[in-house]
Every structure is written in C-alpha cells, then in structure tokens.
C-alpha cells in the first residue's frame, strides 16, 4: 500500500459545527503532516507529527485541533470555523529519509458556510 487516504473527500459545515478530517497511511511512515491550500495558492504547512507526537504547530488557530491516535492515523478536529477556513486540506506522510519525497493524500475539500 503506497497511498495516503483522506476522508471525507468533501465536507460542508456550519460555523457552529464540530467535524473531523481523517488521514490514514500503511507505509510505515513515522512523520505525518497537515497542509492547507487555498485557491491559486501553494500548500501551507499546518502541523507536523513525528512518532505520534506533535513536533511543529505553525501558529494555527485553536479551532483546528490535530490528533495522532497511532502511527497510521492522523485526525484534524474542526470546531467553530470561519468561512475563510474553506480550503483543500491535505495530509502527507514521509519516512525519516525523505529522498522519495512526501506522499500526499488527495485532500478534503472543506466549505464553511
């Protein structure tokens, strides 16, 4: 299995809702990442998990809450989002040595109404 699987592919949520994005990989990668991509912009790093511990938080607002329950799973819990949070949320994973690059999922298209 050489894929990163993200669910759901599309999500529409209200500003008072609580929802979660899910990411799964079975490549034995020990680093996992959340990126956010707005239209016509590059992906921007949000969080880095290494060996199931949060190692980097790029000053992301607390309405985004990451969680890494085990080495194969990464969640992003969403609460009280704003319409400007609407974007494509990408999950990625990598081995320690990144020579083969990061493997990205196909993303979750989030719309906040």
The binder of another protein chosen from 48, 74, 76, 112 (CB under 8 A): 48
- Residue 18 or 38: the one with the smaller Cβ distance to another protein is 38
Binding mask 18-37 for another protein (x = CB under 8 A): ------------xx-x----
* CB-count burial class (<10 Å; 0-12, 13-18, 19+) for 74: buried
Q: Whole-angstrom Cα distance, residue 96 to residue 101? A: 10
CB of 55 to another protein, least distance (A): 4
CB of 15 to another protein, least distance (A): 23
Q: Applying CB under 8 A, does 2 fall inside the site for another protein?
A: no
Q: Whole-angstrom Cα distance, residue 28 to residue 19? A: 27
- Residue 15 or 106: the one with the smaller Cβ distance to another protein is 106
The binder of another protein chosen from 12, 15, 56, 113 (CB under 8 A): 56
Q: Which residue has the tokens 């990411």?
A: 23
Question: HSE on the CB side for 11, CA within 13 Å?
Answer: 27
Task: Take residue 12 and report the two structure tokens written for it.
Answer: 């529409």
Residue pair 21/29 in contact by the 8 Å Cβ criterion: no
Q: Which residues lie near another protein (CB under 8 A)? A: 4, 6, 30-31, 33, 41-45, 48, 50-51, 53, 55-56, 88, 90, 92, 94-96, 98-107, 109
């Amino acid at each position: 299995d050489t894929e990163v699987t993200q669910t759901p592919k599309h999500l529409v949520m209200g500003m008072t809702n609580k929802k979660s994005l899910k990411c799964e990989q079975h490549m034995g990668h020990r680093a996992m990442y959340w990126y956010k991509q707005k239209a016509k912009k590059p992906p921007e790093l949000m969080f880095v998990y290494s060996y199931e511990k949060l190692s980097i938080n790029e000053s992301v607002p607390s309405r985004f809450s990451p969680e890494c329950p085990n080495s194969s799973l990464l969640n992003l819990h969403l609460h009280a989002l704003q319409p400007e949070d609407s974007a494509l949320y990408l999950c990625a994973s990598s081995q320690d040595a990144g020579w083969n690059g990061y493997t990205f999922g196909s993303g979750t298209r989030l719309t906040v109404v």
